[in-house]
Amino acid sequence: MSASVRWRDAALGGIGTLAVLALWEAAARWGGASPLVFPPPSTAVVGALERVPGDVLVGHVTISLQRIVLGFVAGATLGVVLAVAGGWYRILGNLMRPIVELLRPIPPLAWIPMAIVWFGLGESSKVFVIFLAAFFPVFTNAWKGVTGIDPVLLRAGQTMDLTGPALLFKVALPAAMPDIATGLRIGWGLSFGVLVAAELIAADSGMGYMIMNARQLADVGTIILGILMIGAANLVTDWAIGAVIRRRLGTWHPV
């Protein structure tokens, strides 16, 4: 894609975003709704920024990202390890597949009461819910990657004296990387998806807490600011992960 086409696409994206904001602004100003319920974005965000100090905002973002990173890293690591082991060694796979299939459709939020009983009201229960959100998509995609390898690649490896773990690490794992990468990106997105719910658990910090707390204070502006911050944090981090994946895999695989 040429630079001019990229610029044009970026410009169109910007125009689309601004158009939605402009419509919202116009509807709020001239639509007759109460500004306490449906404020225009300009006054909502500006007002919220005046009420909530910058260092407090940064603190909320930092603690939320910390929880997401902890839960995601734990869930993704376990997901990749179990899926690769189970996808490669048939006995392990047969052992784990039914239980994973049973647990997979359960929404991570259904685990919140269990999380509180097991881990109390501290950080661990919030991280656990995010862990669950990250684990399943990573597991499912890594499994698909390891079990879906073109057999000719494995046979080629075997004719080059690779067997057992060497074949797994030198052929199967690199071949499964595109699917594993897809799982990681989906898992990262879902980790954000359960953040607000995880921060419902007796939290006094984080972007989810900020939103819920603002609701009790009927501070619609802060709610809107918090929502936009979650979106922006997800967007920026997902873009960064995508950039790393493109750097690592983009040379040989279309991503």
- Residues 6 or more apart from 41 whose CB is under 8 A from it? 21, 24, 25, 28, 224
- Residues 6 or more apart from 177 whose CB is under 8 A from it? 145, 248, 249, 253
Torsion of CA 143, 147, 153, 158, to 10 degrees: 110
Shortest distance (Å) from residue 139 CB to another protein: 22
Shortest distance (Å) from residue 223 CB to another protein: 46
Shortest distance (Å) from residue 179 CB to another protein: 13
The answer to whether the CB of 182 falls within 8 A of the CB of 141 is yes
Give the separation between CA 11 and CA 6, rounded to whole angstroms. Answer: 8
Residue with smaller CB distance to another protein, 153 or 228: 153
Shortest distance (Å) from residue 159 CB to another protein: 4
Give the separation between CA 93 and CA 73, rounded to whole angstroms. Answer: 22
What are the tokens at 249? 């895999």
Residue with smaller CB distance to another protein, 42 or 158: 158
Tell me which DSSP letter residue 148 carries.
T
Residue with smaller CB distance to another protein, 57 or 176: 176
Shortest distance (Å) from residue 79 CB to another protein: 21
Shortest distance (Å) from residue 161 CB to another protein: 4
Residue with smaller CB distance to another protein, 4 or 251: 251
CA–centroid distance for 164 within its chain? 34
Residue with smaller CB distance to another protein, 76 or 167: 167
Q: Calculate ∠ Cα 46-51-52, nearest 5°.
A: 100
Residue with smaller CB distance to another protein, 7 or 252: 252
In the chain, what is the straight-line distance between the N-terminal and C-terminal CA atoms, in Å? 14
Residue with smaller CB distance to another protein, 34 or 251: 251
Shortest distance (Å) from residue 46 CB to another protein: 50
The answer to whether the CB of 189 falls within 8 A of the CB of 234 is yes
Residues lying near another protein in the complex (CB under 8 A): 150, 152-153, 155-156, 158-163, 171, 174-175, 177, 249, 251-253
The answer to whether the CB of 46 falls within 8 A of the CB of 225 is no
